[in-house]
Chain A
């Protein structure tokens, strides 16, 4: 599938590409298809600066930064589903599949609006909108290919939210026009579980287990790896699979233990080019 080839290329950015593009504009106009790919690959190099800009004026662990981080991911998801619905392949999907994508899209747009209000409500400035990279989207030449990316986005979102929840402990309630009074941490958790429902349904649409067992067709992608991979079977120093470890006379399988807990991704991992970071662009 093209998508993963492109992602691989994105991860192997030639550091000289940007310089060449800047100084040799005449060549830019007659790019071959290979050099077009190189130009695409140069995009993610800008991401680091984008994320730095997005969080300017905040410090790690600052709730405003956490919510802008969440908002960035929701922008990415919302734009992805908008592109999906506008895609010529959308009409090839079943009515049920279309309805599911529309429902998910509705939630992502609602999350964007809510998070913008939350950022403002806690005294911050909502980060500018981002979009799903058009060229990458164009490489997804079927509804099924788009669904693969949807699964990766949703499962990444689930991991991203739970990685930041600890930064939101103790925040005071915020009153938001049209929504009412909300607790910021609770709202983040309420979005988090919706992302998990989305992930489960998309996996189910793709004939995968709704939970992450490690045996799915995409489960070896970078979105499921990281410092704490989804295959982890030790939680809070408790070994879940050793014989008699948590239940007398019972040994749980690694697949069951891994599936029973989802894992976190750090911001650096989420925004890495191999994951969500590689999907943001013009």
Chain B
């Protein structure tokens, strides 16, 4: 089957055109689905042993030689990478939202906002699972087991510090991963999510230090640019909070 597939480049050139006039929502989503399907086929093809270019690109959720779980390659790798981070964020906020003393610990308004953020992150997580299941069946990253330092959920200070770390990390992760995406529709989706993560990050930062929503430690003063991190840099940090060992070595890599 992989022998019959067209090269990626020709797919993109043909399908990308409608995105540039994205007023017609229906055609945009039809396009998104069509390209996503095509990408999944191509990526599935890439993993075949017969592939003459890069025979060793891992499929999503496969186990690598050292026992790590691979996030996969190409766009699937990027989506699984985002899915992994959203799993972590969603788990963290669900635990915060479930605190019986949440309102007294964080303040009533803040606790209510945290419950909204918990919903946003759960939706992000479940959206990625649904999209991956549709576009890359068989390569969907498994459910991860988050872990936290003792006392993480015991005080306002530790909850806010953890939330800030996750949100700023998430923003930097999406900012760094955008250029690894090949399918424009996926890039748009990532953009739609990262700005919400940035809103969360700004809010959490303001709770910790009022006015620090885009402070110089996060947004470079000279360029006005937010942080961007490579998958390797992000996973180095995220790994501290995830029981399973993840491998992101082939994220964005195509045959």
Contact = CB atoms under 8 A, between A and B. Distances in A.
- Do A and B belong to a common assembly? yes
B123 interface: yes
Contact of B171 (A107, A169, A193, A263): A193
B214 A261 contact: no
Contact count band on B: 35 or more
Contact of B129 (A191, A246, A269): A246
Interface residues of A, number: 71
Contacts of A10: none
B217 to A, nearest CB: 12
B188 A211 contact: no
Contacts of A49: none
A211 B200 contact: yes
A50 B219 CA distance: 32
A192 B195 contact: yes
A110 to B, nearest CB: 3
Interface stretch (B25-33, B45-53, B153-161): B25-33
Nearest to B215: A103
A190 B188 contact: no
A253 B119 contact: yes
Interface in B106-134: 113, 116, 119-124, 126-127, 129-131, 134
Interface stretch (B138-146, B222-230, B236-244): B222-230
Most buried by B among A99, A197, A200, A235: A197
B224 A111 contact: yes
A190 B192 contact: no
Contacts of B181: 169
Interface string A149-160: 000000000100
B224 A194 contact: yes
A262 B195 contact: yes
A165 interface: yes
Contact of B179 (A109, A185, A266): A185
Nearest to A166: B184
A78 B42 CA distance: 44
A26 interface: no
The 8 closest A-B pairs by CB, nearest first: A110-B224, A166-B184, A162-B191, A196-B198, A200-B202, A246-B126, A196-B195, A200-B199
22 contacts: A106-B221, A162-B192, A169-B179, A169-B184, A179-B222, A179-B223, A185-B179, A186-B175, A186-B176, A192-B191, A193-B194, A196-B196, A196-B199, A200-B202, A209-B113, A210-B199, A227-B23, A250-B126, A256-B116, A256-B123, A260-B124, A266-B22
